[in-house]
Structure 1
Amino acid sequence: MTTAISTEELQRFKALCQQKNFGQALPLARRFHPLLAQNVHLARRWGWVIYERLKDLVEQARAKQAPASRQANSLPEHLSRKIREALVEYARLPNLHTPDLLHAMILVMVCRIGIRWSGVLGFLYHVRAFDTLRPEDRLPKTYGDRTYPSIEQLLTQTVAAALAKLPLRDQRPEVLDWACVQVQQRLDRFPDEPWIPYHLACYLIKKQRGPEARPLLAPVLLQHRHKSWIWERVARANHDRPEHRLTALTQALRLAERELPTVRFRLHLELQICWPPGSATMKPLPSFRQPAAWKNSSAVTCATTAILSGNAIGTCCSNPGSSNGSSRPTCPGHPPSPSSPKQFSTNTCRPRNPSA
């Protein structure tokens, strides 16, 4: 049943839209929803009011939060509620979900909010974000001497980060499947963006799809191989390969000297679970656990290649060293087989004694 709309009310709604008064226009817009769903010109006028409201809320969020605090679900409750209110109104008007300037600007605002709002994936799925881009939205923008990423790249970064960082239990399965496919389809479009495959890998790890995740970690691992967190991620991607997981966990713990004690304790605990003391079921790889070995780029390359591929550690070189006293040059990634596991000690994993 359609509610009768008087001419005076309609004129008042148009005046409020012209004034960009979201608060007073909102009750009228909800009442006029059947008319807005049919009249694209009136709906677009209301859509620009929604955009201005969203832009103001994004600026409020940026002003109240430092860049370091822009984490998943980190928006204040009152801002999250207002952002959801504005985007729900836009989502209810499918005649606005078309390739035009208004839609592109709404998508840019949503990308600026990003994972700080838990509903970002559901909204982008509902408005068919990737299917409603203009040709120019898929190209980078150049202003003066600076080049900015395309809207398509911003969307891909936002969706990948949401997959990695938002709790999966809060998302519908069809939304997660859609988001994963959209990111996978665009990996080749942005080869210079290492964080897109990294975030996709984090999602695949959470879904227990380690073999698919491992190659995607390579760009970030090669750039940040001296960081503990990336080796911990590599270890989780190798849950089905205990030997590689052990090597990655050991390196993560060694690099965690400046991390919080809780981080070192967690890594130590995972290492103990992976390789209990006295276990004889797994041969340790001591050279990968010696600090000097990791200073050599070839050692890092060999270990990284093995851990992220399907090969065993020590098979990427055709001339490995031998343990029979040969003077041949030995690839640092392929040490002689150890005769005893005593070369590696978990004593270095223990927290330092404050009284020492």
Structure 2
Amino acid sequence: MERPNKHAPVPFIDLAAQYARLKSDIDARIQTVLNHNRYILGDEVKELEAALATYCGAAETVSCANGTDALILPLKAWGVSAGDAVFVPSWSYCASAEAIALLRATPVFVDVDPLTYNMDPASLRAAIEGCPSDLTPKVVMSVDLFGQCADYDTLTPIVREHGLKLLADSAQGFGSTLNGQHPIHWADAATTSFFPAKPLGCYGDGGAIFTDDAELADTLRSLRMHGSGTDKYDNVRIGLNSRLDTMQAAILLSKLSVFEDEIAARNRVADRYNAGLAQYVQVPQVMDGVRPIWAIYTIETDEPDALQAALGEVGIPAPRYYPKPIHRQTAYADYPTGAGGMAVTDAARLRAISLPMHPYLDVATQDRIIETVKAALH
């Protein structure tokens, strides 16, 4: 019998395995779209929006072209603009702050909890109360980093106390729950991204906004279609061209049918990692009451660069999220950090490294990853 190649490349996310499972259904759904030719806002888009709303308990779902637009659209609908402050974690992908800056508002960076990496409530309060006098606090944008929803039970009272809107950026966390509730239970709007690498991803770009506010949903539908009104040639506001195409909606409908099963599989993979690595690295911590979806499995070690090199030598990808947080990036260096500082973010960025994570990671391959990590650190 041929022995497995110990240096065979390991996919960080195995979309090919997922497609093999869903191939007949995805192919049939794509063919249906090719047959009816309604490539923009076809019936599959409406079907997906309804299914997503049911899944996360939202009254309304508005799909759009990508996860960044999903953040821009509600901020724009709320009138966020120059002179307004939006409080956001720095340890996130740049899109979280980019959406704010593109509207000429000011991102104010907030530190994160050292265990969950999500927005720290004490840091948020300090940032709001110490907000520069030339800015008007408007929105708190939480980020459900790495697939674990934020501490909404603690964050929400702070947001409401100061009369702000709460926008939950769930690009990495759609499907994660706190005490059985999705983030929209607390937020004025929640968003997700359907970028292919996300746990619920399409084969291109896509995004969605969830809300219980029917008026906001109507405004979002207008904004995603150039600010359209009832008359096709009388646009009533300045909007975007940000529609989810029908083909991607068809693919997402297929993937949504196995999403819960895949989340369960991701949690089994995470449990195996935790059991195998807890004595060697700092494994991820999950807040009480949270069901994570493990978009990214991130550990901490004193030697992340050496570990990344050792894993890479045997074909195991181990990217670093995020060695340069947003407040340290060139385009965002002049924006303010909250009054509480960024000590946790700046410490975690030096130690964090991520391992392959997907529902189709078999035990033998995962054992190979675990043993490689252990060998590299001893």
TM-score (norm 2): 0.24
Structure showing the higher helix proportion among its residues: 1
Higher relative CO (Cα under 8 Å, sequence separation at least 6) belongs to 2
**Structure with larger Rg:** 1
Query: By percentage of residues, which structure has more strand?
Result: 2
TM-score, normalized by length of structure 1? 0.25
